[in-house]
Amino acid sequence: MSTIAVDTTLLRDAALGAVATVDDPEIPGVSIVDLGLLETVTATADGKVAIGLIPTFSGCPALAMIAADVEAAVAALPEVEEATVEWLRSPVWTIERVTEDARRTMATDLTLAVRVDSGPTPCPRCGSPTEEKSEFGPSRCRAIHRCGSCLEVIEVMRDR
Amino acid sequence: MTSMTPGTAEFLLAFADDEHLMGQQHTEWIGIAPFLEEDMAFASIAQDELSHAALLYAIVADNGQGSPPDDRAIDTLAFDRSAADYRSAQIVEVACTGWAHALVRHWLYDTAEELRWSLVDGSSLEPLKDAAAHAAREERFHVRHADGLIDVLAHTPDSADRLADAVNALLPLATGLFEPVAGEAEAIEAGVTSAPFDTMLPEWTNRVRARFPEIDIEAIAAPAYASRTRRHGDFAALMSRMNEVRGIDPTAVW
């Protein structure tokens, strides 16, 4: 262990960068930070980093995998002595936490839309209104819609 | 944070056991539901119920201190107690081998659960209050899902008959959900829950009546309470199925 105290602001920034390299296991190319799962990062002068995450849904089966990926990414930083990850009980995740960047990547690369509250969710391919076909998609946080114009069947990320 | 009393623990275990067994029962429809979307729906809903159970067991396991959940301790409470120590209602223990029965149970159960979680959304027990915020969002669409299917099926004579049979068979057991465990009074006194669950029974009955207007629900007699301390005849087989894989290696980490 280094005897020189670590600059906690720099360490925190480095840890934040490391967390941002972790993609959601079911949404390749989209960081969990851009999905809004990161809530807290704290760093101490002796190189201990604690990450607080929130789940999209409490029963998401990917939680253990995400926590392990985040821990490994942060622990790999040379100045980190210890990395811990905790799933926080609050706040409750909402769809508004998904960044514009993530929305663009999801639409362009994965034909994955994000649910909108007012009016129909636009098709990620052609922008036309979509219609919900099933509230239940391949995972708890996805519904199935179909575009009324290009007829593409799309998955829509949702928070309830 | 003060530690919880044995009564509060019993109250939470009854809640957790209901969510756990309901979730386990729903998983049995994955792959054999009548159509693909139902496979997905039952899988998603089961996932929610099991996660709610895990949140509740975690609170009991660490005595309400709110530390990060210990999966091993949760499993011990969920799987390793003797049958007599479970506090589940018989509606979540009974085997529903027909899909109409499974659907009606899903509706009856989730209509009750929505009311039940609302009683603890201002709980003095912080982790329970936080769990209620998640559950309230997740339970809401369970009822919507069951309603959507019943809306469609109720207009087809054969389906309507099957639904009516299911209501007749399951309603008496479903009222058992509202049966208090001995610890409920302590839980109320400690502010863990705001009122006895059976104060919600009239509201639930109103919703059942509105959902199944052709069925004379008053004519279906509910059995006397004391069901939470007695296991249904189907419980042992359910428990054995639930432990089939786990029994191969109880120390495995999932």
Q: Rounded to whole angstroms, how far apart are CA atoms B8 and B24?
A: 24
In sequence order, which residues have a C-beta less than 8 Å from that of residue A77 and are 6 or more positions away? A11, A14, A15, A18, A49
Residue B102 confidence class, pLDDT cut points 50, 70, 90: very high
Selected residue of B59, B130, B144, B253 to mutate for chain A interface (largest A Cβ count, 10 A): B130
Main-chain phi, psi angles of B5, to 5 degrees = -80, 160
In sequence order, which residues have a C-beta less than 8 Å from that of residue B222 and are 6 or more positions away? B171, B172, B175, B176
Could you write out the three-class secondary structure of B93-161?
Answer: CCCCCCHHHHHHHHHHHHHHHHHHHHCCCCCCCHHHHHHHHHHHHHHHHHHHHHHHHHHHHCCCHHHHH
Q: Which residues of B touch A146 (CB under 8 A)?
A: none
Residue B140 confidence class, pLDDT cut points 50, 70, 90: confident
The CATH number for B6-248, chosen from 3.30.2010.30, 3.20.20.140, 1.10.3720.10, 1.20.1260.10, is 1.20.1260.10
Q: Which residues of B touch A86 (CB under 8 A)?
A: 68
Residue A11 has pLDDT above 70, yes or no: yes
pLDDT of residue A58: 84
Residue pair A71/A77 in contact by the 8 Å Cβ criterion? no
Q: What is the mean pLDDT of chain B?
A: 92
Nearest by CB: A136 against B40, B50, B137: B40
B137 vs A89: CB contact, 8 Å cut-off?
no
Residue-wise pLDDT for A22-39, tens only, equals 999 989 999 999 999 999
What is the location of CATH 3.30.300.130 in chain A?
8-87
Q: Which of B14-28, B47-61, B129-143 has the lowest mean pLDDT?
A: B129-143
pLDDT of residue B176: 94
Residue-wise pLDDT for B4-43, tens only, equals 899 999 999 999 999 999 999 999 998 899 888 888 889 9
A153–B contact, CB cutoff 8 A:
no
- Only one residue has tokens 């159960």, namely B109
Residue A1 confidence class, pLDDT cut points 50, 70, 90: very low
Residue-wise pLDDT for B175-216, tens only, equals 999 999 999 999 999 999 999 999 999 999 999 999 999 998
Average pLDDT over residues B62-68: 86
Question: Chain A: nearest CA to B126, how far in angstroms?
Answer: 9
Between positions 90 and 149 of A, the ones with CB within 8 A of B are 90, 92, 134-140, 144
pLDDT of residue B252: 79
In sequence order, which residues have a C-beta less than 8 Å from that of residue B80 and are 6 or more positions away? none
The ipTM (two decimal places) reads 0.81
Main-chain phi, psi angles of B44, to 5 degrees = -65, -40
Class of A8-87 per CATH? alpha beta
Maximum separation of any 2 CA atoms in chain B, in Å: 56
